[in-house]
Amino acid sequence: MVKFWKFVRSFRQLELHRLILMLMVFSLVSMCLLAYYVTNSPKIKEALPLAISDCNNQHRVSQPPRHHTPLLDSSRTDPMVLIFAESIYSQLIQEIVTILESSRFKYRTEIAPGKGDVPTLTDKGRGRFALIVYENILKYVNLDAWNRELLDKYCVEYGVGIIGFFKANENSLLSAQLKGFPLYLHSNLGLKDYHINPNAPLLYVTRANQVEQGPLPGDDWTVFQSNHSTYEPVLLASTKSAEYIPHLSTHKALHATVIQDLGLHDGIQRVFFGNTLNFWLHKLIFVDAIAYLTGKRLCLSLDRYLLVDIDDIFVGKEGTRMKVLDVKALLLSQNKLRTLVPNFTFNLGFSGKFYHTGASQEDAGDDMLLKHRNEFWWFPHMWSHMQPHLFHNETVLADQMKLNNQFALDHGIPTNMGYAVAPHHSGVYPVHTQLYKAWKSIWGIKVTSTEEYPHLKPARYRRGFIHNGIRVLPRQTCGLFTHTIFYNEYPGGSKELDKSIQGGELFLTVLLNPISIFMTHLSNYGNDRLGLYTFESLVKFVQCWTNLKLQTLPPVELAAKYFELFPEEKDPLWQNPCDDRRHKDIWSKEKTCDRLPKFLIIGPQKTGTTALHFFLSLHPGIMSNFPSPVTYEEIQFFNGANYHKGIDWYMEFFPIPSNVSTDLTFEKSANYFESEVVPKRAAALLPRAKIIAILINPAERAYSWYQHQRAHQLPAALNFTFHQVISASPDAPREVRLLQSRCLLPGWYATHIERWLAHYQPSQLLIVNGLQLRNNPVAVMESVQKFLGVTLHLNYTQALIDESFCYEMASIIDLG
């Protein structure tokens, strides 16, 4: 019996162990199944975010109308802003500069003088600056008497206004009178509920029908108080609590945080800010202040052109693509936006290879897009979404485009927009010549866009250019990328997206750019449809707070408008692709920056450049460019039509160095010296290059050029003496005046050297005495080798003995 109960007990223990083991196995299997379900099942969608509501006008504040003054007449000044900074690295200065550069306004920054002199304000009876900005207005009011009188006199005489900022700190007095002004400052306040005074004269872009409700960030605000009629409030707010400022009236009253001085006190118009530009509304008012105080000379029009590209239609992994309901929402949103933005149309970029490569519901979404294809604009990517710079053969590249073109024909996609975008901006910039040729031959492309010219960041520097007849427009990002799909998972939180829309980066992009092409992706219009949320909210916010007139144009018309506004951007400025990591990644691996020259001989003509070119060619470690069939030993790339052929064309003139670290390549183009555009162009492409100029007596150079032209049978040189040519009046025949210019202009040495030194360091420039080159070439070549830092030193004494005849001929030919 005892043995029986022992057996039963052991059996129960065994069963218990098995039960525990089974429970553990069951738990593990359940967890695996749950993990699989969570990972692979469709995401449970939360409610889609709703665009911001329409404007609310019920809180509009009406100030009694006051005396308004006419716009300042600053026409006797150059359109330049003078900034007095305490530190060029401060956040406020960076924000001021960002606005000026984004608006393409010229500026000059000076460290605000304490007791030192202000910079020269006039030149030949004309003012050098149309506006003055003080980072700290106390630097202005505390100027010594001499400089204050000088600056104020300049402002009155030339109609120049002043913008000043006051940023309170822990040492600021709670209440004080601004020295020399009937104006009191009350500082270190907490404020709320920002109002715009609709009667403020400076309002232009800003629309005074909204109230920014809620507390303003920080407790370091300053408000202005005055009974003088010269002051007009611009922005007003109430205090958070009356206890903060017992010296003012009840906290329910509105106090001016930005105030406009109409100039009735001393004849100078000013705008004072009681804080920095951290708060978005201050940036908007700052833009208006610039426009008002410069008589709208530094001012963009109210027209804003928007184009929203949706890249990668049909491209995207399962779960990120558009479904039927998403396409319907896209159409509905487009119709809504058209009521606010005339002609608004989404612009869809397609790669046909990926059509019907999603889940069944997403494939239905593809079909829905094609069903409504005539409701949208369309533009091509590459058929397989490959990067064009990877195709070195133009024919292969064109074949890829033909596949996409055939897909468009098969599905009735309209392709007459004359616009295309390359995947990842590859081949657009840096220029891949094969892409431009294939685009024109297959699609008839006239316009493209990129975010890479001249560089991705900072975005405010993005510009347009024209290459090979195709107009390239700057493209902007809007904070939406392929991975930004869900509102609540937006990087940094959904508030970051809303902040960008409501006065932040996206809003400022529209504010400061007359034309904005926004890049979005297919995935931004599925799932939470962040693309629709973003642009509906942006358009409403812009129209609530500004007087900007939003509209959309097709790409070809948009490009025409862009270069009408910015004709100076038609000519590109080629950069070195190897100086930008992103550019190097989208540049053909068959190309190398090692082919670019290490130094330039820039001229001027008839000073000995051909002789120097010959001497350098004797050096085994120095290689010149291959000759041109048109301009012989000179490429003449940077100063003429050849520049527009691009750097691929330029690099073909240079050999690939056998030893990159020791071999030096160079080119000599003697008309680079006096060109106004060459120094900037050369420094952009060859920032580390060394520059060699040869100078002789400018009178001898002028006469040598005259004799050179006589030898070439130029009628003006044959029919007029040298004296007649250089002393010719403005009424002389045109051909005589042209010859006079070519004789005299290159001899303005100081002017041309100063221009080169604006783009190159003095240590990069060597000036060779042409007379010494003729009389003592060995000594000159010693100094040239030292300047170039060649590792292999050539004994020119022996070299010139061996080549004495050639040297003599070269000297005669070049020096005339």
Mean pLDDT of 464-482: 95
> Residue 57 pLDDT more than 50?
yes
Cβ-count burial of 198 within 10 angstroms (0-12 exposed, 13-18 middle, 19+ buried)? Answer: middle
pLDDT at 15: 65
Task: Annotate 493-528 with DSSP letters as a single string.
Answer: -HHHHHHHHTTSHHHHHHHH-SEEEEEEEGGGGSTT
Find the Cα–Cα–Cα–Cα dihedral 628, 675, 461, 648, rounded to 10°: 0
Find the Cα–Cα–Cα–Cα dihedral 154, 155, 160, 165, rounded to 10°: 120
Q: What is the pLDDT of residues 131-166, one digit of tens each?
A: 999 999 999 999 989 999 999 999 999 999 999 999
Distances (CA, A) of 8 to 3, 4, 22, 92, 461: 9, 6, 21, 86, 86
The DSSP letter of residue 210 is -
pLDDT at 483: 87
Q: In DSSP terms, which residues pair with 235 in a beta bridge?
A: 196, 258
| Sequence-ordered list of residues with C-beta below 8 angstroms from that of 683, at least 6 positions apart, any chain | 759, 760
Q: In DSSP terms, which residues pair with 191 in a beta bridge?
A: 239
Instruction: Write out the catalytic residue numbers.
Output: 606
**How sure is the predictor about 610, in pLDDT bands with cuts at 50, 70 and 90?**
very high
Of the given ranges (5-19, 456-470, 638-652), which has the lowest mean pLDDT? 5-19
**How sure is the predictor about 571, in pLDDT bands with cuts at 50, 70 and 90?**
very high
* Closest-CA residue to 164 (of 85, 233, 218, 102): 85
**How sure is the predictor about 175, in pLDDT bands with cuts at 50, 70 and 90?**
confident
> Residue 806 pLDDT more than 60?
no
Q: What is the pLDDT of residues 710-745, one digit of tens each?
A: 999 999 999 999 999 999 999 999 999 999 999 999
**Higher-scoring residue by pLDDT: 26, 209:** 209
Q: What is the pLDDT of residues 192-210, one digit of tens each?
A: 999 999 999 999 999 987 7
Angle at 199 between CA 196 and CA 204, to 5 degrees: 75
**How sure is the predictor about 799, in pLDDT bands with cuts at 50, 70 and 90?**
confident
> Residue 68 pLDDT more than 60?
no
Residue 585, CB-side half-sphere exposure with 13 Å CA sphere: 8
Mean pLDDT of 303-326: 95
Q: Which long-range contacts (CB under 8 A, 24 or more apart) does 732-737 make?
A: none
Neighbours of 28 (CB within 10 A): 10
pLDDT at 42: 42
CB-based contact 254:195 (threshold 8 Å): yes
Q: What is the pLDDT of residues 76-119, one digit of tens each?
A: 999 999 999 999 899 999 999 999 999 999 999 999 876 667 89
Q: In DSSP terms, which residues pair with 111 in a beta bridge?
A: 85
Mean pLDDT of 437-444: 97
Distances (CA, A) of 134 to 101, 109, 452, 573: 17, 10, 34, 33
| Sequence-ordered list of residues with C-beta below 8 angstroms from that of 451, at least 6 positions apart, any chain | 425, 459, 462, 474, 475, 476, 477, 519
- Starting at the edge strand found earlier in the chain, the sheet holding 599-603 runs 622-624, 664-668, 599-603, 690-695, 765-769
Q: Burial code of 666-681, b = ≥16 C-beta within 10 A, e = fewer?
A: bbbbbbbbbbeebbeb
CB-based contact 110:83 (threshold 8 Å): yes
Neighbours of 809 (CB within 10 A): 14
Distance CA 532, CA 456 (A): 25
pLDDT at 38: 43
Q: Which long-range contacts (CB under 8 A, 24 or more apart) does 237-245 make?
A: 237/191, 237/192, 237/193, 237/194, 237/195, 238/191, 238/192, 238/193, 239/189, 239/190, 239/191, 239/192, 240/190, 240/191, 240/192, 240/215, 241/190, 244/189, 244/190, 245/174, 245/186, 245/189
Alpha-carbon torsion 319, 324, 325, 329, what sign?
A: positive
pLDDT at 801: 75
Element (H, E) at 796: helix 796-802
Residue 718, CB-side half-sphere exposure with 13 Å CA sphere: 5
| Sequence-ordered list of residues with C-beta below 8 angstroms from that of 141, at least 6 positions apart, any chain | 178, 179, 180, 181
pLDDT at 767: 98
* Average pLDDT of every residue of the chain: 90
Neighbours of 715 (CB within 10 A): 12
Distance CA 32, CA 258 (A): 62
**Higher-scoring residue by pLDDT: 317, 465:** 465
> Residue 64 pLDDT more than 90?
no
Alpha-carbon torsion 472, 583, 462, 516, what sign?
A: positive
For the chain, the distance separating the N- and C-terminal CA atoms, rounded to the nearest angstrom, is 133
pLDDT at 40: 46
Q: What is the pLDDT of residues 362-406, one digit of tens each?
A: 999 999 999 999 999 999 999 999 999 999 899 999 999 999 999
**How sure is the predictor about 75, in pLDDT bands with cuts at 50, 70 and 90?**
confident
Distance CA 313, CA 525 (A): 10
* Closest-CA residue to 765 (of 685, 683, 657): 683
Share of the chain above pLDDT 70, in %: 88
pLDDT at 492: 92
> Residue 679 pLDDT more than 90?
yes
Of the given ranges (144-148, 406-410, 450-454), which has the lowest mean pLDDT? 144-148
pLDDT at 11: 46
Distance CA 300, CA 286 (A): 13
pLDDT at 17: 62
Distance CA 756, CA 675 (A): 10
